[in-house]
């Protein structure tokens, strides 16, 4: 394609601005016609010729600017064609309508009233069609009906996977990023820079400036170069005003180009995958890394109402939301809130917490006369990740209640009566990572003899 001079493109870009004038003028002419008939107010009709003339002239201007814009080659040709011819048709009909209106043009065998109404109706239809195709060019053909509440085609779902290794690099990681951040401008109907990212063929076809990527060499690949530029650089992608790619997303794209040679069918397991990529993939796919503990995803739970929070605080608990508006809380019973004097109150206090048992992520209750029966209640905190219950009269039976707890990650048990029997319980908590067991009956020898290289065993800190 011949180079188009900048000034042409500069004016061309005013097309999306100017097109709204003919739409307004011509539609207004139509409304004047209808209302004057309906309200029987002929004085309104005097404005119609002016509205039609302005509409026709601005439509002509829009056509010219639109043609200039189309020279950029950023748009799909067949889609532009339809918009192009409908735009011209609208302009022509607008002039005809004007001529009929001012009675310079007479269509034989029809009266002027009918001719007026019919040309105006035709204009409205043409405007709608032209406008729709124009909108498709700018926003993409699925823009209008993307959020249509009914009659939606079910989206093509990728088969669910349970292991990160099974994920196809392109389908599960790369494609969602491109769909999210790139295809609103790089699609078949709005091919900015002649490039589309919708599928493998489109990506391989590249764009006006050559290949989008070079398999195995991300640093030479245009699509990577562009996203890594200084954000103020003219060629930076995505352009100003759009959400830039995150570090993680860029890392995934580079990994795909370098390690997977930009292959469209490779799976993670087939190629060399650095640890940080596995981590990013784990977050993207919301699949935990096998053998790795510590969940990254927060549970979704119901909010706690204000009265409950106040009641809990009244009982001496400190309660703090761990992430703003997440409904997930840390609950602390300050040390020595419960002593020998008021030990009967503990049951009542803990019972209050069962109402919010799903909301508690961290629970601290050191030195509060907590015993095994209380632990039974606490073990029902299904989302619990961190439990600090050191310096309490707790035994192995209490710990056994936490066997099979899905999320418990760290337990502080120093100064309790647990023994090596608890070590077996620990191995049954699949997310457990750290146990602090200073000042307990657990010995180093117990740990080696019980765990015997068990890979699921948590780290036990015994202190000095």
Partner 1 sequence: MCNNHEHSKLTSNNRDLQEIEKQIDRRHFLKKTSLGLGAMALGSLLGSENLMANLGDKNVQEAVLNNYNKNRLGLPHHLPKAKRIIYLFQSGGPSQMDLFDYKPKLVDMFGKELPESVIGGQRLTGMSGSQSTLPVAPSSFNFKQYGESRAWVSDAMPYLSEVVDDLCFVKGMQTDQINHTPAISFMQTGHQLPGRPSIGSWLSYGLGSDNENLPTFITLISKNGKGQPLTASLWGNGFLPTEHQGVQFRSGKDPVLYLSDPENYDGNDRRHMLDYLGHLNEIQNDAYGDPEIQARMAQYEMAFKMQTSVPEVADLSDEPEHIFDLYGKDSRDPGTYAANCLMARKLLEKGVKFIQLYHQGWDQHIGCPGGVKNQSKNTDQANAALIKDLKQRGMLDDTLVIWGGEFGRTVYSQGQLTEDNYGRDHHPKAFTMWMAGAGVKPGFTYGETDDFSYNVVKDPVHVHDFHATLLHLFGVDHERLTFKHQGRRYRLTDVHGNVVKDLLT
Binding stretches for partner 1 (CB under 8 A): 247, 294, 298, 306-307, 309-310, 318, 320-325, 328, 332, 334, 361, 386, 388, 390, 410, 412, 414, 434, 436, 438, 461-464
122: tokens are 């035709």
CA–CA separation, 262 and 446 (whole Å): 51
Q: Based on CB atoms, which residue is closest to partner 1, 263 or 321?
A: 321
- At a CB cut-off of 8 Å and minimum separation 6, what does 107 contact? 100, 115
Q: How far is the CB of 324 from partner 1 (least distance, A)?
A: 5
Q: Based on CB atoms, which residue is closest to partner 1, 189 or 410?
A: 410
Q: Based on CB atoms, which residue is closest to partner 1, 157 or 306?
A: 306
Strands 318-321 and 329-332: antiparallel
31 half-sphere exposure, CB direction, 13 A CA radius: 7
Q: Based on CB atoms, which residue is closest to partner 1, 234 or 307?
A: 307
Q: How far is the CB of 172 from partner 1 (least distance, A)?
A: 22
Q: Based on CB atoms, which residue is closest to partner 1, 230 or 307?
A: 307
Residue 385: count of CB within 10 angstroms of its CB? 24
Count Cβ atoms within 10 A of the Cβ of residue 154 and give its class: 0-12 exposed, 13-18 middle, 19 or more buried. Answer: exposed
Cβ atoms of 15 and 72 within 8 Å: the answer is no
- At a CB cut-off of 8 Å and minimum separation 6, what does 322 contact? 328, 329, 330, 361, 362
Q: How far is the CB of 421 from partner 1 (least distance, A)?
A: 20
CA–CA separation, 315 and 4 (whole Å): 76
Q: How far is the CB of 409 from partner 1 (least distance, A)?
A: 9
Q: Based on CB atoms, which residue is closest to partner 1, 234 or 325?
A: 325
CA–CA separation, 438 and 434 (whole Å): 12
Q: How far is the CB of 355 from partner 1 (least distance, A)?
A: 17
Q: How far is the CB of 150 from partner 1 (least distance, A)?
A: 29
- At a CB cut-off of 8 Å and minimum separation 6, what does 342 contact? none
Q: How far is the CB of 377 from partner 1 (least distance, A)?
A: 21
Q: Based on CB atoms, which residue is closest to partner 1, 217 or 276?
A: 276
């Amino acid at each position: 394609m011949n180079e188009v001079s900048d000034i042409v493109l500069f004016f061309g870009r005013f097309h999306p601005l100017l097109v709204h004038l003919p739409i307004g003028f011509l539609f207004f002419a139509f409304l004047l016609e209808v209302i004057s008939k309906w309200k029987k107010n002929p004085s309104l009709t005097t404005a119609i010729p002016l509205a039609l003339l302005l509409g026709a002239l601005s439509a002509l201007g829009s056509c010219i600017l639109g043609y200039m814009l189309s020279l950029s080659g950023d748009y799909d040709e067949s889609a532009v064609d339809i918009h192009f011819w409908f735009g011209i048709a609208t302009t022509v009909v607008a002039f005809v309508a004007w001529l009929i209106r001012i009675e310079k043009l007479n269509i034989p065998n029809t009266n002027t009233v009918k001719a007026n109404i019919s040309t105006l109706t035709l204009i409205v239809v043409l405007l709608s069609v032209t406008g729709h195709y124009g909108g498709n060019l700018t926003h993409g053909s699925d823009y209008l009906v993307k959020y249509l509440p009914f009659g939606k085609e079910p989206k093509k779902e990728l088969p669910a996977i349970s292991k990160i290794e099974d994920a196809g690099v392109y389908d599960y990681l790369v494609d969602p990023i491109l769909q999210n951040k790139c295809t609103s401008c790089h699609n078949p109907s709005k091919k900015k820079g002649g490039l589309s990212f919708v599928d493998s063929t489109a990506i391989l076809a590249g764009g006006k400036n050559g290949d989008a990527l070079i398999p195995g060499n991300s640093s030479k690949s245009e699509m990577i170069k562009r996203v890594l530029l200084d954000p103020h650089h003219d060629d930076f992608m995505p352009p100003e005003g759009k959400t830039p790619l995150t570090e993680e997303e860029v890392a995934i794209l580079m990994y795909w180009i370098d390690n997977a040679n930009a292959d469209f069918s490779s799976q993670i397991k087939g190629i060399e995958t650095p640890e940080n990529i596995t981590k990013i993939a784990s977050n993207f796919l919301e699949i935990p890394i096998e053998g790795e503990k510590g969940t990254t995803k927060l549970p979704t739970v119901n909010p706690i109402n204000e009265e409950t929070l106040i009641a809990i605080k009244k009982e001496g608990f400190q309660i703090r939301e761990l992430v703003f508006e997440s409904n997930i809380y840390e609950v602390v019973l300050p040390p020595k809130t419960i002593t020998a004097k008021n030990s009967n109150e503990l049951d009542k206090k803990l019972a209050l917490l069962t109402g919010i048992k799903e909301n508690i992520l961290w629970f601290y209750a050191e030195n509060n006369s907590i015993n095994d029966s209380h632990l039974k209640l606490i073990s029902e905190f299904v989302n619990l990740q961190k439990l600090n219950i050191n310096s309490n009269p707790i035994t192995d039976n209490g710990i056994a209640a936490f066997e099979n707890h899905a999320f418990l990650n760290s337990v502080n048990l120093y100064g309790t009566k647990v023994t090596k029997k608890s070590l077996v319980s620990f191995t049954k908590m699949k997310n457990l990572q750290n146990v602090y067991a200073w000042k307990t009956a657990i010995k180093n020898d117990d740990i080696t003899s019980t765990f015997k290289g068990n890979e699921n065993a948590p780290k036990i800190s015994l202190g000095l």
